[in-house]
Structure 1
């Protein structure tokens, strides 16, 4: 028996709509008067639900899809229970972070979601051993799960500081960046590359750099964390290692990109032009991300970037929306897990335009903040952009879920 992937992807799209709706609410509160709900609590709910309800749920679902297509005696029941448990934790965090912030119940659901990810990691790595070791995606998935697990150490250290009431500001920020780094650059990035390698059905024996690129990214992932802590006045040797990690990742990404373009360009031409453009947009955003990461090794630039909130928000959304979210949407529709139609295409175009506008406005706001220049109506602009994002993904989700009902389960 196999998992009904379409059914679980309905929740993915619905959850992305909820994330976008919370984004609209936050932008409205910043630009206009809205006394209800605490802004900080909405932010916690928005970020936690984006990570667990949208990205983690979708990655788990698509990784199970990869596994069940490669396994003869696939045992679906344990993964169904894991997905249910993760969704319960996600909705728990969504609701209780809004109403109580970091309270007992929200922390319970947050901790439970971490434990669920441990269970998923254990079973998934165990089942990966049944596959042919020549599949290039396998090691990327293993690394993704490893980084997801170690990212939780940052969360636990934060909880320890809060419980002991001994909050040291530098360690508090370092713990948050630790968690974010190993989620964004570990779990999310390695999970998506694993899915892409699986999508292209790449094998290690086809090109030596498929495995080499994995090794370069895996080895450089841990030291590249220190790029997020350059404001801590690190020792010279640690700074040098982090710079080397940034250079390594730029080299690995662009060489891998060139090889994939040379070998898989003809294959990708089989897909709808819109999906190809979404993939191109995602790859371009990832290229910009690696270049910005390399630029952050310049101490003066790093201090500027981390000192201005709009820059940090622009960078986080570049990775979360332009790289990860657009890639996952590409994968869902290019794999025909949900069949695309004209109305879904309109929604995807709107959402992609929203992602681009969001980055442009945030980048302009960030650069202007260097000189303490105020951009007129910037908050109102960001609110309109948030509405475009919600409208786009809402349109996409509505017609995808409606369409799914008319198709037999996989």
Structure 2
């Protein structure tokens, strides 16, 4: 809810210029991104990982519950500091606390989990490893500023390193682990070794797009193209395993609309990444900010949040009632509409052709659906939720 309100404020700033007199846009942007990534998505994965993979006894429960609230305190600290000062001593302290909490969580779950399927356990540890690796980008920000400044390519690469391995490494592999555990835990997954190798390579190689943008070395576009190709092959290898699951509609059951959303967005993600395999197009996308935002939201809201809601409904953490259905309507409408508008904005930026009048106004209008939908969703939560 906090992330959605910050996002709505950011879009209101383009419609009502007077807002910019009372806020610092960049500070609100930092607050929005940190709360969405570390407050919503990270905590969602935290809860799901503890539920499925954590050892069930009083000692372990106490550890995870206490760590949960310390991590939430770090998130609240970021929410109260970033909007007013951006990156400063207080906000950096809370961000650092969150990273330390994530290290404790990752190390503990790595050492203490109840997975018996070796393939899924490998995916779990790989997801956690990507989480650790992604934070290297954060630790290098200080040296980057000291040596070359905030406008340097090194500084931007550090930020993008963190984001790339958070999204494509940690979060995507985390949800792959959850999906494998839900659908395929009772059997040995065919061609798993091939899939695993292709997936890891694809995550590493697709970082080539970032390097190509900021270092202006054309060869990295080919590295990215290779990574995109390997990613496509990785999921092609899995097609037989999941085809049998897809044929059984009962496997998806209640809340299937969220799984359908995630699948559709995943297809769009693959298509968009295939387009960036073209050097000419990949170079242009760097300056099309609306497409970059749209791609981030496609992943975070479409794929990862969609899967998260599906899991929470299947686990009966969220009641399927009027509130959740109404909330889903507002959230899906807001998401689909804003994605379309961002896509059309990108076309206008590239070609100069205006397809949609008052695009910023419409973005703001449809974005109201996010906090409204979340309010309905919050009202549907089961008060007996336990970690």
Which band: TM-score by shorter chain?
over 0.9
Answer with 332-341 or 143-152: which moved more.
Answer: 332-341
Q: Map residues 368-387 of structure 1 onto 2, 5 A cutoff.
A: 368-374=348-354, 375-387=356-368
CA deviations on 1:204-243 (whole Å, 9 max, x unpaired) are 52x313453233212321122112232233363x544432
Residue 356 (structure 2) pairs with residue 388 (structure 1):
no
2:258 to 255, 274, 278: 278
Aligned to 1:36: 22
CA deviations on 1:327-375 (whole Å, 9 max, x unpaired) are 1111111221222212211211221121111111111111111013354
Q: Is the alpha carbon distance of 1:409 and 1:224 closer, same or farther for their aligned partners in structure 2, counting shifts above 3 Å? A: closer
If the length of structure 1 is used for normalisation, what is the TM-score?
0.87
Deviation of 1:278 (Å)? 1.8
Deviation of 1:244 (Å)? 1.9
Q: Where in structure 2 are there 5+ consecutive unaligned residues?
A: none
The number of aligned residues is: 383
Deviation of 1:76 (Å)? 1.5
Deviation of 1:288 (Å)? 1.4
Q: Is the alpha carbon distance of 1:277 and 1:210 closer, same or farther for their aligned partners in structure 2, counting shifts above 3 Å? A: farther
Q: Is the alpha carbon distance of 1:36 and 1:173 closer, same or farther for their aligned partners in structure 2, counting shifts above 3 Å? A: same
Deviation of 1:256 (Å)? 2.5
Answer with 256-265 or 335-344: which moved more.
Answer: 256-265
| 3-state SS, counterpart of residue 340 of structure 1 | coil
Q: Is the alpha carbon distance of 1:49 and 1:241 closer, same or farther for their aligned partners in structure 2, counting shifts above 3 Å? A: same
Aligned to 1:291: 271
**1:120, 1:409 → 2: CA distance?**
17
Q: Is the alpha carbon distance of 1:191 and 1:37 closer, same or farther for their aligned partners in structure 2, counting shifts above 3 Å? A: same
**1:173, 1:372 → 2: CA distance?**
28
Q: Is the 8 A contact 1:283 1:323 kept in 2?
A: yes
Q: Map residues 86-125 of structure 1 onto 2, 5 A cutoff.
A: 86-125=71-110
**1:174, 1:326 → 2: CA distance?**
29
Q: Is the alpha carbon distance of 1:252 and 1:338 closer, same or farther for their aligned partners in structure 2, counting shifts above 3 Å? A: same
1:321 to 297, 301, 318: 301
| 3-state SS, counterpart of residue 190 of structure 1 | helix
Residue 157 (structure 2) pairs with residue 181 (structure 1):
no
**1:127, 1:312 → 2: CA distance?**
38
Q: Where in structure 1 are there 5+ consecutive unaligned residues?
A: 1-16
RMSD of the alignment, in Å?
2.2
Answer with 211-220 or 330-339: which moved more.
Answer: 211-220
**1:349, 1:190 → 2: CA distance?**
28
Aligned to 2:235: 253
